[in-house]
Amino acid sequence: MKILGIETSADDTGVALIEASGKFGTDFSFEILANVVDSQSDLHAKYGGIYPNLAKNKHKENLPRLLQQVLGGPDAPQIDAIAVTHGPGLEPCLWTGINFAQELSKKWNIPVVPVNHMEGHIIISALTSGNDAISNFKFQISNEIQFPMLSLLISGGHTELILSREWMRYEYIGRTRDDAVGEAFDKVARMLGLPYPGGPHISRLALEARSSKLEAHFKLPRPMIHEKNFDFSFSGLKTSVLRMVEAHSPLSDELKRQIAREFEDTAADVLISKTMRAAEEHGAKSIVIGGGVSANKHIRARFAEECEKAGILLLIPPQEFSTDNALMIALAGYFRAQRKEFPDAHSLSANGALKLDNTGN
């Protein structure tokens, strides 16, 4: 089955084409026929975040060009279905992808599969884990995946813990009560005078501090780390950094590196503590980590250590597929298409606050 994936939930325009066969398990395999992403990060950097209407207009401009690049011509190469993100995300951006998918569906007379963006992150993390260079290659799902499976989704808009007792069924057991961890990275970076998106710049300074054995002479609070629930909170952590910046402004380069290291250590401590405790309580045998913040090398390394000690399988995608992409939408769309989940294409709508429920929708 050939699936065309379309992703426009935020500031990355993605189009991908895959060919997949089999059901979940050892008989599943897929081949990436094409996968392209156009990032708008530089365009939005001057705003310190995503400017929705600008992103929407850029998606409209990008989609026809990227589709031509993926297909290599004006015609669909026997595509069986179109998978498109319908939430969560920025609704003006989501509508751009949906409208484009609807037009293609009418033109090519093929069905559209609506995909939850967060399910895309879970599935690509589970399917591509351990493959460092997966472009233009064939893959089979790891037969090591065992349930219960716990997914930690960490990005600019999400910090969530989701339990799966079987493939594509989800139960929320924890989420952020305020800022998402990725949002906290971006806002702390702005406090330190670093460009948007802030995560990579925070990590660079933190790595410089560790490499030179520069330790912070202060400790930031680890919010909610000892509470019995599995929820998160990063607003107070962000405020603590702000107070420090205000008290020591202008910041020296050395203090910036100390703050970056301590902030990254704090975020990692909270994420790991909550996730590993949830895994123990629910008997998780596999842990999936997905979303843009999963590209953070320090967080990846810390989780690898903890999961190895606990004897839990860690499923985390190559860094190139940690951020938003259409490959993950095509993969999720394939499994939905197998279930014949083909609503009327013109009934689709964008839902910026879409949640995964226990049926996987």
Q: Which two tokens stand for residue 156?
A: 């600019």
CB 220 within 8 A of CB 240: yes
Instruction: Please compute the mean of the pLDDT values over residues 120-139 and round it to a whole number.
Output: 65
Q: What are phi and psi of 38, to 5 degrees?
A: -115, 110
State which amino acid sits at residue 357. Answer: D
Say yes or no: do domains 2-134+320-347 and 149-317 share a fold: yes
pLDDT tens, residue by residue, 106-127: 999 999 999 999 999 999 988 8
Helices 181-191 and 235-248: angle between axes, nearest 10 degrees: 10
pLDDT tens, residue by residue, 25-79: 767 888 899 999 998 777 767 767 787 788 899 999 999 999 999 998 666 678 9
In this predicted structure, what is the pLDDT of residue 132?
45
pLDDT tens, residue by residue, 275-285: 999 999 999 99
Top-level class of domain 2-134+320-347: alpha beta
pLDDT tens, residue by residue, 178-192: 999 999 999 999 999
**CATH 3.30.420.40 is held by the domain 149-317:** yes
In this predicted structure, what is the pLDDT of residue 186?
94
pLDDT tens, residue by residue, 341-354: 888 888 999 999 99
| Strands ordered across the beta sheet of 2-7 | 112-116, 81-87, 2-7, 12-21, 29-39, 138-140
In this predicted structure, what is the pLDDT of residue 129?
54
Q: Which two tokens stand for residue 139?
A: 């893959």
- The domain segmentation of the chain, as residue ranges, is 2-134+320-347, 149-317
Range of 72-76, 155-159, 207-211 with top mean pLDDT: 207-211
Distance CA 283, CA 262 (A): 31
DSSP class of residue 293 equals G
Range of 125-129, 135-139, 324-328, 345-349 with top mean pLDDT: 324-328
Residues whose CB falls within 8 Å of the CB of residue 57, separated by 6 or more in sequence, listed in order? none
Q: Is the pLDDT of residue 225 over 80?
A: yes
Q: Which two tokens stand for residue 223?
A: 């919010």
Q: Is the pLDDT of residue 263 over 70?
A: yes
